């Protein structure tokens, strides 16, 4: 399909180059099949074919992985001139990003947007940050020796509104070391109730009276620390999900005493 035939500007980058052409030509340059590229980006071969035919374009969370696989600078993919020295993304970051689920990639991108906003100069030092209230449980989710998770034991706390915290319904403390190195004993995590849990997601589960923070997989609940076995359950076991873990909340996001006095 020639460039002049693509009338949908959503399928063109800022320089007017079709995303279809960029992906197709660079894939061929790398002597890579559509199936091979799809495997790297965690999509089906048909999805790659649709990109290259101009029928759709990749989800924004997949773009860094595609650029890494095809050795395309991000600014070139989006057709944005880069007057500064090309930013080098560490291979370790790329590898870890590529291993994330689509949902967790979007969380990383939202966190990056938040950090970018925080770096911008504050033209109004007196401006107050926006606060939201979230329920924080007094009890903890087990990541080691068993801890108990109550139904409504806790209090309302005020935290800064960010693209991530606005999604949270509850804050729960981690207890134990089975989720190290990502989650440590004493960490407080943001939890979203009612979110759909997919394999690979970290969530809070209640089994009987015990609460756990674990990675959901179809064969059971997994720990990140290899010293802990997989938790398997039978048909008679009562297991329910409290919510999806969005990430760890930093102490500086909690309202200060002065901010609480102004509420």
pLDDT digits (tens, 9 = 90+) for 153-169: 788 999 999 989 999 99
- For residue 212, the SS3 value is strand
Summarize the confidence of residues 95-114 as an average pLDDT: 80
- Look up the pTM and report it: 0.52
Bigger pLDDT: 225 or 98?
A: 225
CA 199 to chain centre: 14
- Angle value at C-alpha 205, between 201 and 207, nearest 5 degrees: 145
- Angstrom distance (rounded) from CA 152 to CA 139: 10
Mean pLDDT score across all residues of the chain: 82
Give pLDDT, residue 144.
46
Instruction: State the pairing for strand pair 188-192/239-248.
Output: antiparallel
Residue 222 parent element (H or E): strand 220-222
Residues 32, 97: contact at Cβ < 8 Å? no
Residues 174, 189: contact at Cβ < 8 Å? yes
Summarize the confidence of residues 32-56 as an average pLDDT: 90
Q: Which CATH superfamily is domain 3-82+90-112 in?
A: lambda repressor-like DNA-binding domains (1.10.260.40)
Give pLDDT, residue 124.
56
Q: In the CATH hierarchy, which fold is given to the domain comprising 131-253?
A: Umud Fragment, subunit A (2.10.109)
CA 223 to chain centre: 18
- Angstrom distance (rounded) from CA 202 to CA 141: 12
Residue with tokens 């107050």: 128
Residue of 209, 194, 239 lying closest to 221 (CA atoms): 239
pLDDT digits (tens, 9 = 90+) for 68-94: 899 998 888 888 766 544 455 677 777
Q: Can you name the residues that pair with 160 across neighbouring β-strands?
A: 131
Where in the chain are the domains?
3-82+90-112, 131-253
- Angstrom distance (rounded) from CA 93 to CA 114: 18
Residue by residue, DSSP assigns 43-54 as --HHHHHHHHHT
């Amino acid at each position: 399909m020639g460039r002049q035939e693509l009338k949908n500007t959503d399928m063109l980058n800022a320089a007017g180059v079709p995303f279809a052409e960029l992906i197709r030509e660079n894939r061929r340059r790398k002597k890579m099949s559509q199936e091979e590229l799809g495997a790297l980006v965690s999509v089906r071969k048909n999805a790659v074919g649709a990109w290259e035919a101009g029928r759709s374009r990749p989800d924004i969370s997949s773009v860094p992985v595609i650029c890494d696989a095809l050795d395309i600078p991000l600014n070139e993919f989006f057709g944005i001139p880069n007057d500064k020295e090309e930013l080098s993304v560490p291979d370790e970051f790329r590898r870890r990003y590529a291993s994330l689920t689509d949902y967790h990639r979007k969380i990383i991108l939202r966190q990056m947007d938040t950090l970018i906003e925080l770096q911008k100069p504050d033209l109004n030092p007196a401006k107050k940050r926006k606060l939201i209230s979230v329920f924080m449980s007094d009890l903890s989710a087990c990541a080691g020796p068993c801890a108990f998770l109550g139904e409504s034991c806790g209090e309302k706390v005020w935290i800064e509104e960010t693209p991530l915290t606005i999604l949270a319904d509850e804050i729960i403390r981690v207890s134990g070391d089975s989720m190290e190195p990502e989650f440590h004993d004493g960490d407080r995590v943001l939890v979203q109730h009612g979110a759909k849990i997919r394999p690979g997601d970290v969530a809070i589960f209640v089994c009987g009276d015990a609460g756990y923070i674990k990675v959901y997989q179809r064969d059971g609940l997994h720990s990140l620390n290899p010293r802990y076995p997989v938790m398997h359950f039978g048909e008679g076991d009562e297991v329910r999900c409290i919510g999806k873990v969005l990430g760890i909340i930093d102490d500086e996001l909690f309202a200060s005493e002065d901010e609480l006095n102004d509420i």
